[in-house]
Amino acid sequence: DDFPRASHPSRAERHVDLRCWMGLAARALATIGKLSGLPASQTAAYEATAVHLEDFALLNRLHYDKVSGLYLDWGNHTEAASLRWSTQVDERGAVQRSLRRVASATPVPSFVRHPGYVSLFPFLMKLIPPDAVELATQLWVMSDPAHLWTDFGLRSLSAGSSLYDKHNTEHDAPYWRGAIWININYLALGSLKYYAEQPGPHAGAAASLYSSLRAALLTNIRKQYEQSGYLWEQYDDRDGRGKGCRPFTGWTALVALIAAEIYE
C-alpha cells in the first residue's frame, strides 16, 4: 500500500520484502511437491529458486545497509521530494489544482532508509543466522520507542521516518505509516520465539522482547475489544485504539494463536 518506497520508481528498484516473499513461495512449492511425491525433476526449479533467494550472503550484498544496520529497499531515491499543490489551465481555460510530486534534489541509486515492517522481512522469514551480528540491529529497532516499539505492539513505520503518519496523496490517509497491524506482529512473535530458542548471543534479547511484545498485544487487543466490542483492522500506535474496519476477524483473529503461542 503506502509504505515508503523509492521516490522515483525505476527498473533498477529492489524490494527486500518481495525477495523474501518469493523465497517463501518457492520453498513452499518445493516442499509441497516433495510431500506430494513428485519426482525431483519437477521440484528442482522451485528448490533452486528457494536456495538462491535464501542465500544470506547475497541478501546482504543486495539489501543490507551497513550505515543503519538494516535491510532496506534499493532504488532511485531522494528524501528531498514532497507533494505540492500545482495549478494548471487546460485548453478550455478551466483552472485545476492538483498535488504533484516535486523534488528539490536529483534522485540517486541508494538505499531507501525508512525502518519499518518492510525492513524486518529477513528477520520475519528467519533468513538471518542466529549468531549473525546483523540480528542485533533488528532486535534493537523493534525494541526502540523512537523506531517501532509501542506499548500496544510494533508500529508499521519508524516514528523517526520523514513519512511517518504522512498522507500518501490528498485523499489517501496514512495506512502502513505508523499503525499497528496484527499480521506482521504475529510474524515478529514467531521469529522472536524462534531466535530465543536457538543457541547464540541474541537468544536472551529475543526472549525478553518476545515476552514484552506478546503481553503488549494481548493486553491492548483485549482492552479495545472490551471497550468497543470489536476486533479492529489496525490499532493506533499512540493510544492503542482500534482503527479502520470493524469487526475485523481476519488476521486480527491471530490473537487466538498469539494467546496459545502457536506460530507454525
Q: Which residues are marked as active site?
A: 1, 233
CB neighbour class for 35 (10 Å; exposed up to 12, middle 13-18, buried from 19): exposed
Continuous H helices in 125-181? 134-143
CB neighbour class for 84 (10 Å; exposed up to 12, middle 13-18, buried from 19): exposed
What is the C-alpha to C-alpha distance for residues 68 and 133, in angstroms, rounded to an integer?
13
What is the C-alpha to C-alpha distance for residues 44 and 155, in angstroms, rounded to an integer?
39
DSSP state of 39: -
H or E element at residue 97: strand 95-103
What is the C-alpha to C-alpha distance for residues 208 and 143, in angstroms, rounded to an integer?
10
Nearest of 220, 156, 144 to residue 187 by alpha carbon: 156
Alpha carbon distances (Å) from 225 to 153, 178, 216 = 15, 21, 14
What is the C-alpha to C-alpha distance for residues 215 and 152, in angstroms, rounded to an integer?
9
3-state secondary structure of 257: helix
Continuous H helices in the chain? 16-35, 40-53, 56-63, 121-124, 134-143, 182-196, 203-228, 255-260
